[in-house]
A and B are shown apart, each in its own frame.
Chain A
Amino acid sequence: NAGVTQTPKFQVLKTGQSMTLQCAQDMNHNSMYWYRQDPGMGLRLIYYSASEGTTDKGEVPNGYNVSRLNKREFSLRLESAAPSQTSVYFCASSELGGGNQPQHFGDGTRLSIL
């Protein structure tokens, strides 16, 4: 059981390049999330999808777009990468959005923008 799978694990981009981070879960969860983790800042929510067909902005959505492709997959796109987007990105999923259902996290994507 793979849980939450993120690809790629590492990526280096030049400023202005575009990139899509992929996330897939095999737990039949309804809700999926994208976070970024920066030193001293904890995890900040970028976008989430409470259920297939819906997406909502989180705390730091600027410069990002998302697509909930189907129930399993939730991708994050950087249209024009900026150095401020250098971060570790985590995808997570939960059975339901909100409530007491814990989130399950992927291993992260370490992204560097030069």
Chain B
Amino acid sequence: AQSVSQHNHHVILSEAASLELGCNYSYGGTVNLFWYVQYPGQHLQLLLKYFSGDPLVKGIKGFEAEFIKSKFSFNLRKPSVQWSDTAEYFCAVNSYSGNTPLVFGKGTRLSVIA
């Protein structure tokens, strides 16, 4: 069965600091990978996704993520965070082929302070 681990439960950063959130998955086959963001009181929104090609993918709002197959990782990065990036971030995975729903990690809460 697929599983996703997000090791950072809560990250606190100052504005302009760089961000890296870890995501590791467990699955033996080829996968699709996603990062979603949930702003306070809102629903989940897609930040970016990877399914093939260039392992460095760019998403909205200056976020990017790098797929490292050998490490089963898909870490999220942003060079300089803003107060408005305060949110909860979820990594998710599903099988590249077949009809399988997403499996989500437990999320990482990011707090950006001025």
Once the chains bind, are A98 and B49 in contact (CB under 8 Å)?
A: no
Q: List residues of chain A with CB within 8 A of the CB of B27.
A: none
A26 nearest CB across to chain B (Å): 15
The 8 A CB mask of A36-56 against B (1 = contact, 0 = none) is: 000011111100101000000
Once the chains bind, are B102 and A103 in contact (CB under 8 Å)?
A: yes
Q: List residues of chain A with CB within 8 A of the CB of B100.
A: 97-98
Stretch touching chain A among B13-21, B60-68, B72-80, B103-111: B103-111
Q: Which positions 77-114 of chain B face chain A at CB distance < 8 Å? A: 90, 94-107
B29 nearest CB across to chain A (Å): 12
Once the chains bind, are A42 and B97 in contact (CB under 8 Å)?
A: no
Name the residue in A35, A48, A58, A102 with the highest tally of chain B Cβ atoms < 10 Å from its Cβ.
A102
How many residues of chain B get a CB closer than 8 Å to chain A's CBs? 26
Given A42-B106, A43-B90, A50 and B43 contact (CB-CB distance below 8 Å) = no
Once the chains bind, are B107 and A100 in contact (CB under 8 Å)?
A: no
Q: List residues of chain B with CB within 8 A of the CB of A99.
A: 32, 51, 94, 96-97, 99
Once the chains bind, are A42 and B95 in contact (CB under 8 Å)?
A: no
Q: List residues of chain A with CB within 8 A of the CB of B106.
A: 40-42
Once the chains bind, are B101 and A100 in contact (CB under 8 Å)?
A: no
Once the chains bind, are B46 and A98 in contact (CB under 8 Å)?
A: no
Once the chains bind, are B94 and A98 in contact (CB under 8 Å)?
A: yes
Name the residue in B46, B51, B102, B103 with the highest tally of chain A Cβ atoms < 10 Å from its Cβ.
B102
Q: Which 5 A-B pairs have the closest CB atoms?
A: A100-B51, A42-B106, A105-B43, A97-B99, A43-B104
